[in-house]
C-alpha cells in the first residue's frame, strides 16, 4: 500500500515532508488537506491526526504526525534514503536532534508569530497585530543570528558543518521560506543582516532542486495575491479573505 502524505503546501512542515519524499524517490500519494477549507477539522482527518494538524502520514496501518518525527521515520524505513539526511553516525544524529528540538521554540515560534501578525492575519480573519509581530520578529531575528553563529559554524555549506544537507537543513529552510509572503522591505530588513543564512538558503535550494521550487510555488502565488490586495485596498481585502481564507496550523 502506497504511503499517504496528508499535507497543505501552505504549511511549512508539510512542504518539508513532501520535498523529502520527492528527493528520495519515495513512492507516495499526496492527499491535500485544504486548511483554508477547514479540512483539517473534519472527523475524517481527525481519524488520521487527532491533533488536527498537517502534515500526517499513513504507512499501511501505521499513522504518524509531527514533521520531524515523520522524516526520521521515513529515513529509517525507506532504504533509498541517503545517509546524509539522517546519518547513522550517533554523534551526527544527536546533533541533528538538537537542531530539530531547538527549532520548535525558536525559529518556528518566531517566524510563525511574525508572519501571522504582520501579513497573513487578515487572510485568516484576524486583524494585524503590530505588537505581536514585533515580538515574533525579535525571536525570529535572534534565531537567525543563532543559526549563523552556532549551527552554521564550520567549513561545510550546511548546518553542523556538513557537506550535504540533512533533514534539519530542509526543515529550517522551509520554515524561513514563509517569509516570502511578507513584503520585500520587511523581509530584507530581517534576513539581510544574515549573509551566511542567505547563502545557506541558496545552497539548500540548489541541493534540493527542482522539487524545492515546485513545492514552494504556492507561496509565490499567494505573494502575488497579497500584492494585488495591498494595491487595491481594504474593500477587496475583505473579498480576498472570504475567497481564499488561509488557516494557520501553528
Q: Is 101 in the site for its own copies (CB under 8 A)?
A: yes
Shortest distance in whole angstroms from residue 54 CB to its own copies: 14
Q: Which is nearer to its own copies, 43 or 210 (CB)?
A: 43
Interacting residue with its own copies among 38, 47, 77, 125 (CB under 8 A): 77
Q: Dihedral (C-alpha) 210, 215, 217, 222: value to the nearest 10 degrees?
A: -170
Are the beta carbons of 30 and 20 closer than 8 angstroms? no
Q: Is 92 in the site for its own copies (CB under 8 A)?
A: no
Stretch that binds its own copies, among 30-38, 68-76, 117-125, 186-194 (CB under 8 A): 68-76
Interacting residue with its own copies among 29, 50, 193, 228 (CB under 8 A): 50
Shortest distance in whole angstroms from residue 162 CB to its own copies: 16
Q: Is 128 in the site for its own copies (CB under 8 A)?
A: no
Q: Which cell numbers in the block locate residue 110?
A: 518566531
Distance CA 14, CA 6 (A): 8
Q: Which residues contact 76 (CB under 8 A, 6 or more apart)?
A: 86
Distance CA 158, CA 168 (A): 9
Give how many residues touch its own copies by CB under 8 A: 32
Interacting residue with its own copies among 37, 38, 104, 138 (CB under 8 A): 104
> Considering only residues 142-161, where is the footprint of its own copies by CB under 8 A?
146, 149-150
Q: Is 97 in the site for its own copies (CB under 8 A)?
A: yes
Q: Is 41 in the site for its own copies (CB under 8 A)?
A: no
Are the beta carbons of 212 and 163 closer than 8 angstroms? no
Stretch that binds its own copies, among 15-23, 63-71, 124-132, 214-222 (CB under 8 A): 63-71
Q: Dihedral (C-alpha) 228, 232, 233, 235: value to the nearest 10 degrees?
A: -110
Q: Is 42 in the site for its own copies (CB under 8 A)?
A: no
Are the beta carbons of 29 and 16 closer than 8 angstroms? no
Are the beta carbons of 161 and 153 closer than 8 angstroms? yes
Interacting residue with its own copies among 24, 32, 73, 218 (CB under 8 A): 73
Helix (H, G, I), strand (E, B) or coil at 57: strand
Tell me 152's DSSP state.
Answer: T
Q: What are phi and psi of 54, to 5 degrees?
A: -110, 155
Q: Is 66 in the site for its own copies (CB under 8 A)?
A: yes
- Please give the residue ranges that form the binding site for its own copies (CB under 8 A): 50-51, 62, 64-70, 72-73, 76-77, 90-91, 93-95, 97-98, 100-102, 104-105, 108-109, 146, 149-150, 250
Amino acid at each position: 500500500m502506497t504511503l499517504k502524505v496528508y499535507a497543505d503546501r501552505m504549511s511549512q512542515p508539510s512542504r518539508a515532508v513532501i520535498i523529502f519524499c520527492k528527493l528520495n524517490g519515495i513512492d507516495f500519494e499526496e492527499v491535500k488537506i485544504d486548511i483554508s477549507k477547514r479540512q483539517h477539522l473534519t472527523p475524517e482527518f481527525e481519524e488520521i491526526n487527532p491533533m488536527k494538524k498537517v502534515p500526517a502520514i499513513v504507512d499501511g496501518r501505521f499513522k504518524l504526525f509531527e514533521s520531524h518525527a515523520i522524516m526520521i521515520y521515513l529515513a529509517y524505513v525507506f532504504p533509498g534514503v541517503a545517509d546524509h539526511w539522517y546519518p547513522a553516525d550517533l554523534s551526527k544524529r544527536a546533533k541533528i536532534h538538537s537542531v530539530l528540538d531547538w527549532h520548535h521554540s525558536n525559529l518556528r515560534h518566531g517566524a510563525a508569530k511574525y508572519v501571522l501578525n504582520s501579513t497573513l492575519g487578515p487572510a485568516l480573519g484576524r486583524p494585524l497585530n503590530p505588537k505581536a509581530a514585533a515580538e515574533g520578529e525579535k525571536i525570529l531575528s535572534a534565531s537567525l543570528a543563532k543559526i549563523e553563529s552556532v549551527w552554521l559554524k564550520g567549513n561545510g555549506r550546511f548546518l553542523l558543518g556538513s557537506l550535504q544537507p540533512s533533514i534539519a537543513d530542509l526543515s529550517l529552510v522551509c520554515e524561513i521560506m514563509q517569509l516570502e509572503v511578507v513584503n520585500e522591505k520587511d523581509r530584507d530588513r530581517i534576513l539581510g543582516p544574515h549573509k551566511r543564512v542567505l547563502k545557506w538558503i541558496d545552497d539548500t535550494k540548489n541541493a534540493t532542486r527542482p522539487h524545492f521550487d515546485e513545492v514552494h510555488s504556492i507561496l509565490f502565488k499567494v505573494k502575488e495575491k497579497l500584492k494585488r490586495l495591498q494595491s487595491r485596498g481594504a474593500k477587496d481585502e475583505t473579498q480576498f479573505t472570504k475567497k481564499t481564507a488561509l488557516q494557520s496550523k501553528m
